[in-house]
Amino acid sequence: MKEYSLMINGQKTAPQGGFFDVLNPATEAVVALCPQASVEQLDEAVSAAQACYESWQYSSNEERKKLLHDIADRIEANAAELAQIIVEEQGKPLFLAQMEVGGAVAWTRATAELEMPVDVLEDSDTKRVEVHRKPLGVVGSITPWNWPLMIAVWHIMPAIRSGNTVVSKPSGLTPLNTIRLVEIINEVAPPGLVNIVTGESGIGSGMTRHPGIRKIVFTGSTPTGQTIMRGAADNLKRLTLELGGNDAGIVLPDADPAAIAEGIFQTAFLNMGQTCAALKRLYVHDSIYEELCEKLADVAAKQVMGNGLDEGVTFGPVQNRDQLNLVNELVEDARANGARILCGGSPVDGAGYFYPPTLVADVTDGSRLVDEEQFGPVLPIIRYSDVEDAIKRANAADVGLGGSVWSSDIAKATEIAGRLECGTAWVNGHAELLPYAPFGGCKMSGFGVEFGQEGLMEYTSAQVININK
C-alpha cells in the first residue's frame, strides 16, 4: 500500500501522527495511506513558508509569471497520473477528471498572465501619489473534497503569483492528488514556497488560529466557514470564504424544454451534483412544467453509472458515505411528504456510494430537499405560475452563490438575472466559472472573490506611496 508524505520546506517529510486510509468511493477499497501531520509539523510548515516569504515577496513580476508557467508545464507532464488519482479518491468519471486536470493547467496559465499595476492617483509638479499592492505573507489554503485538484490550484496559484507563500491543507477524504500537486510544484519552486500538511485532527483549526498565517482561503460549508472566521479573529487574518450555495434556476414560460433540458441536467448534476455552484433548485413555469420534467428524465436515463475508470461511465458515486446518507435522507423526506420521484430515488445495492441521478417533482419551498443544500445527485423541480413569485422564492434562501434564468428572450432573462441575490447570475447556463471573471457569494455563501484581477487583489494589501517632490 502506497504511503504518501507531507511536503515541508521542499522536502518529503514523514508524518509524526502516523497514517490514515483514503477510500475509493466506487469500491470502498483503500487507495493509499495519507500522512497525519502533528501540530508541531504545521508549525514547521508555517516557519518554512515564512522563511521563503522573506525573499519571495521581493521576486520580480517576470520571475513569478515564469514559475506559474513552469508549474503548468509540470502539471501537463503528469496529467494522466493526476487524473487517475482523482478518479480513485474522488469518484468522478475519468473524462471529468481529465477535464479537471486540463482546467488546472489552463487556470494556472491564466493566473500567470495577471498583472498588478501601480495605480497613480496624482502626478503633479509638487506631488506624486501611488497605490502599490503588496503580498500579505503566509497564506493558508483549506480545500474540500469535490474538486480537489482544481480548487487547490484556485487557492495556490494567485497566492504565489502575488508574492505570498502557502501552507495547504486538503480534505482528508481526497488528499492524494493535492499532495502530488504540491510535490510537482516543488520540482520547480523554491523550498518553502508551497508546503502541504494533511490530517483530520487539529490541523485545520490550528491553521485558522496560527499567528504566522496572515490569510485563510477556504472553500467548503457555511458552518465550517463560520468556525474559521471565529478562529481568525485573534490576529485579524484576511479571509476569502467560498461557502455553501443552494443555487436556484428559474425557467421562464417562453423557454423551449427540448433545447434547455441537456444544459439544465449537466449543470445540476455536474460532478454528481457535488459542485458548490451547481443548479440545486429548479423553478419551472406551470405551462411547461410537465414537458421539462419529461425531457430531464430522458437525459437522466442516458447516464451510465459505475466506477469512473470503467469505459463508457458518465456518472460516478457520491464521494463519501455521510454525503450519501444525507442525499438519501432528503429524498425520503420529500417522498414521505408527497413528492413524485421521476427517476432514481434510492441508493444502489452493493459496494460503493452509488446514488442514481434523481429528479423530484411536485415539491416546493418548505421541504428539506428545497430548503437545504443537497450537494448530491438530486434535483427538486418546483412549479410556479407567477414570475415575480418565483424570483421572491429564489431569493428567500439565506445563501447566495449563484443563480440562473432560462429563456428564449435574452433581454427579459438578463433583467431577471440582475434581480437575483447571488454572486453570479447566468442566462441560459449555470455553474460556468471563468479564470478572468470574479467569483464569490453573498449572504451566507461567504465573502471575497476568486479569479481574475479582483481575485488576485484578495491576496494583497494596498500601500500608498505619497511623494512630495
Task: In whole angstroms, give the CA distance from residue 222 to residue 234.
Answer: 20
| Structure-block grid coordinates of residue 336 | 414521505
User: Which is the catalytic residue, given 276, 373, 450, 458?
Assistant: 276
DSSP, collapsed to helix, strand or coil, labels residue 417 as: helix
Task: In whole angstroms, give the CA distance from residue 379 to residue 244.
Answer: 16
**Residue 100 among the catalytic residues:** no
User: Which is the catalytic residue, given 44, 89, 100, 242?
Assistant: 242
| Structure-block grid coordinates of residue 204 | 485545520
DSSP, collapsed to helix, strand or coil, labels residue 219 as: strand
Residue closest to 96 by CA, chosen among 316, 299, 306: 316
Contacts of 13 (CB under 8 A, 6+ apart): 5, 6, 7, 41, 44
Contacts of 194 (CB under 8 A, 6+ apart): 7, 156, 160, 165, 166, 168, 182, 185, 186
**Residue 242 among the catalytic residues:** yes
Alpha helices, DSSP H, located in 302-444: 321-336, 368-371, 387-395, 410-417
Total residue length of the chain: 469
| Structure-block grid coordinates of residue 335 | 417522498
DSSP calls for 12-70: EE--SS-EEEEE-TTT--EEEEEE---HHHHHHHHHHHHHHHHHHTT--HHHHHHHHHH
Contact 446, 243 (CB under 8 A): yes
HSE-up of residue 283 (Cα within 13 Å, Cβ side): 24
> For residue 33, with 0-12 CB atoms within 10 Å meaning exposed, 13-18 middle and 19 or more buried, which class applies?
middle
Task: In whole angstroms, give the CA distance from residue 204 to residue 73.
Answer: 30
Q: What is the amino acid identity at position 381?
A: I
HSE-up of residue 284 (Cα within 13 Å, Cβ side): 29
Question: What are residue 415's phi and psi, to 5 degrees?
Answer: -65, -45
Task: In whole angstroms, give the CA distance from residue 50 to residue 165.
Answer: 7
Positions marked active-site: 242, 276
